[in-house]
Structure 1
């Protein structure tokens, strides 16, 4: 038995943002809209920006999802359910297809203060970053 789809551990990834709005997936030569084999719904492609935890680089994955995801817009955070990767090879070409059961709007994670702002604040107050204004 061959493993057709490999589940992706999303805890190893961070910063899920919509990089490109959902677009229906169609055959490039015939224009026929591709559909999900199980549900029969049209398949949509969504560009998702992700980062590997601890790595400074970001990657954009074209993720397939059955049915049109609602409420997504470029630059907004998203949540993906059951993300998986499926390697493929055809006519001397190969690659990886990414697929999720659903992609929905997410919430903005709490941001930590930039290091430069913290250093500038320390310089202005004469205190080291993270120290309270207690007496000496």
Structure 2
């Protein structure tokens, strides 16, 4: 079994939780995994087209490259520069973003719980929140 782990949201933890990369769980897991990372979600640069696939197993990496030949575009140079700048110098901005997201999460959760028949579990990460509307169905 190959596990593809989308860890592009890993910089957006909203509480005291921590991100645990799938490939860090054990060596056999890492050897059969592909991990996707990018600065795109956190630093709002998705349109610049820059992401990375981490493939620890060399043989598997060769298969990955061969399978993606012609399907996966080359990295946009502007996206590369923006991603590097975000990861290198963007921590103050990320911290301010997290403050805004935490505040927005609190407002959204409170508003949802005031509406009869709606509920949600406060998210630990990202700017997404899933609303349970089962009582309305």
Same fold (TM over 0.5): no
Q: TM-score, with normalisation over the residues of structure 1? A: 0.20
Q: Which structure has the larger Rg over C-alpha atoms?
A: 1
Higher helix share: 2
Higher strand share: 1
Q: TM-score, with normalisation over the residues of structure 2? A: 0.19
